[in-house]
Amino acid sequence: MKIALGVEYDGSAFHGWQYQGDVRSVQELLQQALSRVADHEVTVHCAGRTDCGVHATGQVVHFETDAKRSDRSWVLGSNANLPMDISIGWAKEVPAAFHARFSAAARRYRYLILNRRFRSAQWRDRAVWIHRPLDELRMQRAAQALVGTHDFSSYRAMGCQAKHPVRTVHRLQVERVGEFISIEVYANAFLHHMVRNIAGVLIAIGKGEQDESWTQDVLELRDRTLGGVTAPPQGLYLTKVDYPQAFAIPDPPGSGFCLY
């Protein structure tokens, strides 16, 4: 059987999603927990590999097993063997054609900024603190230049291994709620550090250090060395992965609830 799971985690104490052997990773601990429930070694595949310090509220994974367990048993049994900073929200059997990564039609990320004069004890690892005032309206206007299908070479990491830099951004929304500014990016796929690099450019615009046209200027350069700084990882969340309706993948629990 092939089983899909919905997973959330606080990435603060992890060296990213991927198993690396000598450091703490989400994949390693998830595989260990599932292997105990399945009573055999399990390998999990995820929808999107998150970096060190990056969080997820809507990660989707799949694995194959011969073990007969109910959906409820996969959830409760695995959570009983997981640390408190990882949790499984749902489990379901999926067709053999399903793949957590390659079947995904789109992904959604949120970049969360705490914008106030003093730092936060509670949000230190879950949002990026910017003490200088940010103009979210300038950021929102500037962000719209990135909506559509573009070559995002200037917005990907130097070491990005994607075969091509063209991606389609369906929606990019910047809004403020109290002391928090949220950058929501919905795209067919993402390049390495793409959201953090977009956030870095928008933050500079929000501070007034760059004109609103800078998002477009950077895009047209197609040169990462001439782009903005990469924003820190702790503000980034993988919030949802979209799949064709035929797979009937559930929405993340509480997916309509803002983190702030």
Distance of CA 204 to the CA centre of its chain: 22
Q: Dig out the tokens for 20 from the structure.
A: 């690396």
Separation in Å, CA 182 to CA 8, 59, 172, 198, 253: 19, 19, 10, 13, 20
Instruction: Specify burial of residue 66 (Cβ count, 10 A radius: 0-12, 13-18, 19+).
Output: exposed
Residue 109 annotated as binding?
Answer: yes
Q: How far apart are CA 201 and CA 228, in angstroms?
A: 5
Q: How far apart are CA 82 and CA 7, in angstroms?
A: 11
Give the containing element (helix H, strand E) for 3: strand 2-9
Active-site residues, by number, are: 51
3-state secondary structure of 78: helix
Give the containing element (helix H, strand E) for 217: helix 214-221
3-state secondary structure of 15: coil
Q: How far apart are CA 123 and CA 228, in angstroms?
A: 24
Sign of CA dihedral 76, 52, 59, 183: positive
Binding site as annotated, residues:
109
Question: Residues annotated as binding site for substrate?
Answer: 109
